[in-house]
Amino acid sequence: MQLEAYKIADHNQKALEAHQRKLSYWTDEIANAEPIIQKLIDFQIAIPSWALGTGGTRFGRFPGGGEPRSLEEKIEDVGLLHALNQSSGAISLHIPWDIPKDGEAIKSLAASFGLRFDAMNSNTFQDQPNQQHSYKFGSLQHVDRAVRQQAIDHNIDVIKHGVALGSTSLTVWLSDGSCFPGQLNFRKAFERTQESLQEIYAALPDDWKVFVEYKAFEPNFYSMTVGDWGASLLFANKLGPKAYTLVDLGHHLPNANIEQIVSLLLMEGKLGGFHFNDSKYGDDDLTVGSIRPYQLFLIFNELIEGMDAKGMNHATDLGWMIDASHNVKDPLEDLLQSVEAIQLAYAQALLVDRSALEEARDANDVVKAQEILQEAYRTDVRPLVAEARRRAGGALQPLALFRQLNIRQQLIGERGLKTIATGL
Ligand code: LRH
Ligand code: MN
Ligand code: MN
């Protein structure tokens, strides 16, 4: 289904007066509202193709109905999100969960919804039917050269799919590691992984980047070969200028200071992109901003500081992606919430008075420094985000409109109640 523009216009018309009342505080009182609105309009967050269906857990799955049954329907779903919020203008594919059979046709279908293809994700953490070698004991790190080669070939194949779609980056996440002490020679596993990555790196087109995603644990529970930002940065540095670290917010040990990691990676010019989600315990893949919104704000605070220091373009110089899974919510509603949470944190971080903050730091005024951050964080920026959406042609209240239009019911009507999307 495609969302007609008049439905959004009708919704906005009805909500306009109340919206303008809230917005007037900004336009009357705040000097830099306009540049913030413009930055919000430019900022796009890629939706992962695997997050459009119900993920479940390893204990069970409760599909909600009307889930996309094909890549085409996934693109349609992201098109719906983008029509509603005008901020989800890209889709990130996982191969082989979503193999485009006809790259050209898929690319033009996506373009018809105003979507482009963000990072391509390879998968060497599961065995596929008819696969010659098993990844039970790893892929790029494997002791057997034939297994490594199979994983390298897969990554090169993913790059080819990406080229056909107009993507310009590859995300490599490896489940490689070990479950028990003694199982693995850490150094040799690292070196084999490095060699394998080097072969993948050699196959990257000139304008491509590779993102090395780290994760502290799961599915290996004693060691992960790319277990933290240190290991990822080592790989990225050894690989070369097209290689970067990717930060997934759920991939750290408890209480890690992610904002500091972000700051240092940016300083090194090696932060490539993000997988946004939220978590209370581990890789929970919960809705962005649902558990630790202040942490999200602090991360954006470092992102802006570090990107501005390097003259980077906020919208285009990093890969912004969501990586989520849904157990009890409608995936589309959840994704609307996640995108909005990212925009709110971004807008709040844009409000931080940076020169006052540096002054407070130089004066060792700890209280003032904290106040400056919290002043921005405690500001209600929802009218700014809504205004950015409205100006871009999106809905003032995307979630409310999604419900008013009974979009899920319509999707169930089209696709059926029992549908299972491919993915986790
Ligand atoms: C691993 C991960 C990685 C995968 C995705 C499905 O936990 O975050 O990004 O590609 O989940
Ligand atoms: Mn991830
Ligand atoms: Mn993850």
Q: What pLDDT score does 423 carry?
A: 61
| pLDDT value of position 419 | 76
Listed in sequence order, the DSSP H helices in 247-292 are: 258-267
**Who lines ligand 1 at CB under 6 A?**
50, 121, 173, 213, 215, 248, 275, 283, 323, 424
Residue-level pLDDT at 422: 63
d(C-alpha 297, C-alpha 388), whole Å: 19
Pairing of strands 223-224, 243-248: unpaired
Task: Give strand pairing partners of 94.
Answer: 121
Share of the chain above pLDDT 90, in %: 93
Distance 244 CA to ligand 2 centre (A): 14
Per-residue confidence (pLDDT) for residue 424, from 0 to 100: 62
For ligand 1, the distance from its centroid to the CA atom of residue 173, given in whole angstroms, is: 7
Token reading at 146? 């034939």
pLDDT in tens, 158-173: 999 999 999 999 999 9
Q: What's the pTM value of the predicted model, to 2 decimals?
A: 0.97
pLDDT score at 65 = 92
The predicted-structure confidence for 255-298, as pLDDT tens digits, reads as follows: 999 999 999 999 999 999 999 999 999 999 999 999 999 999 99
Q: Whose CA is nearest to atom 7 of ligand 1?
A: 283
The stretches in the chain having pLDDT less than 50 are none
Cα 213 to averaged position of ligand 2 atoms, centre (Å): 7
What's the N-to-C CA distance of the chain in angstroms? 25
At residue 219, the 3 state secondary structure works out as coil
All domains of the chain, ordered by start, with CATH?
40-346+411-415 (3.20.20.150)
Residue 49 DSSP label: G
